[in-house]
Amino acid sequence: MDGVPGITQKPIRPGESYVYEFIAKPAGTRFYHSHGNAEEFSEADQLDRGLYGAFIIEPADPGTEFGDPGQRARVASMLRTFDREYTLFLDEWRGGAHGAHGAGDYGIFTFNGKAFPLTTPVKVKKGERVRIRLINTGTSAFHPIHLHGHQFKIVATDGNPVPFGLELTKNTITVMPGESYDIEFVANNPGTWAFHCHELHHAGGGMVTLVQYENTN
């Protein structure tokens, strides 16, 4: 079942339930979300109301995704050496009614449903390896996410691991609607650093949080 009402199944009505059963594979950063009710253009509206969530599948045997026995030990090490892990949903919220086909007037931009200064900081300690899973659940906006004070590696795209040694090193990555990226950085620069969308209208609308070091004395 693909879950799209009117195409692969009937919509789930108020008070009804529908059970999906499947094997959790492949490993990676995924997310689930509504596809509307097939009677109105409400898919974007339902996502804008928060009908989505993270679906993280941990690898049972890290490295086997690449099918190269010579890389598996290195890949397994890469995938299991992070000390802290965060998942951040990127989203936009409308300031008025939806237009045709669910198009909205968006003016608030959030990490995990919160706009700065209410966003939750990314807490780290010096020397830690930190993985952040970025998931853009918005329906219309792209977000160039920028980390101050550090460089990060892109270790997975849309849940698919980047082969060892081929990771790009950046400090800004653009996440399109429906995309996800796993990035990792080493906490090697103590202080308090901004982590935000570099589309500055979005940052001004709230898509800002902080990377904060603990116990830096």
- pLDDT tens, residue by residue, 172-215: 999 999 999 999 999 999 999 999 999 999 999 999 999 999 97
Helices (H), the chain: 43-48, 69-79, 200-204
Identity of residue 149: G
| Mean pLDDT of all residues in 50-71 | 71
Separation between Cα atoms, residue 129 and residue 209, nearest integer Å? 19
Helices (H), 117-175: none
Domains plus CATH for the chain?
A: 1-217 (2.60.40.420)
The model's confidence at residue 105, banded by pLDDT at 50, 70 and 90, is confident
- Backbone dihedral angles phi then psi of residue 71, each to the nearest 5 degrees: -100, -10
Bridging pattern class, strands 192-197 and 208-214: antiparallel
Bridging pattern class, strands 129-136 and 152-157: unpaired
- pLDDT tens, residue by residue, 132-176: 999 999 888 999 999 999 999 999 999 998 887 889 999 999 999
- Answer whether 65's CB lies under 8 Å from 161's CB: yes
Please state the length of the chain.
217
The model's confidence at residue 45, banded by pLDDT at 50, 70 and 90, is confident
